[in-house]
Amino acid sequence: MSYGLVDRFSRLRSAGMLTMEEIAAQLGVCTATVKIWRRHGLLRAHPFNDKPEWLYELPGTNAPSKNKWKMTPRRRTPLSSTA
């Protein structure tokens, strides 16, 4: 029996959501970076099936930028000589 309902993927796409490849191309990063940013909450995403597949919202002016989220390495202080 068909009720004429539109699937979740189509509803999210019509709302302007992008696939992982599309958002990666838009932000100039690889798809692995998109996954990391989603897990860290830098990108909003919505699952559309029972697999780990997501559609992403356009971040607008608050888009994360490449290498900004990484922590800066610790700088070692030189050991003082006690001669």
pLDDT tens across 56-65, in order? 999 888 888 8
In 16-63, the DSSP E strands lie at 45-47, 54-56
Largest Cα–Cα separation, the chain:
88
What is the reported pLDDT for 69? Answer: 53
What is the reported pLDDT for 8? Answer: 94
What is the reported pLDDT for 71? Answer: 59
Output the average pLDDT for the chain.
86
Nearest C-alpha neighbor of 34 from the set 15, 12, 16, 18:
18
49 domain-assigned:
yes
70 domain-assigned:
no
Residues in contact with 16: Cβ distance below 8 Å, sequence separation at least 6, in sequence order:
57, 58
Helix (H), strand (E) at residue 72: none
28 domain-assigned:
yes
74 domain-assigned:
no
Global pTM? 0.74
Q: How many domains does the chain have?
A: 1
Q: Which domain holds residue 41?
A: 19-59
29 domain-assigned:
yes
Which stretches of the chain drop beneath a pLDDT of 50? none
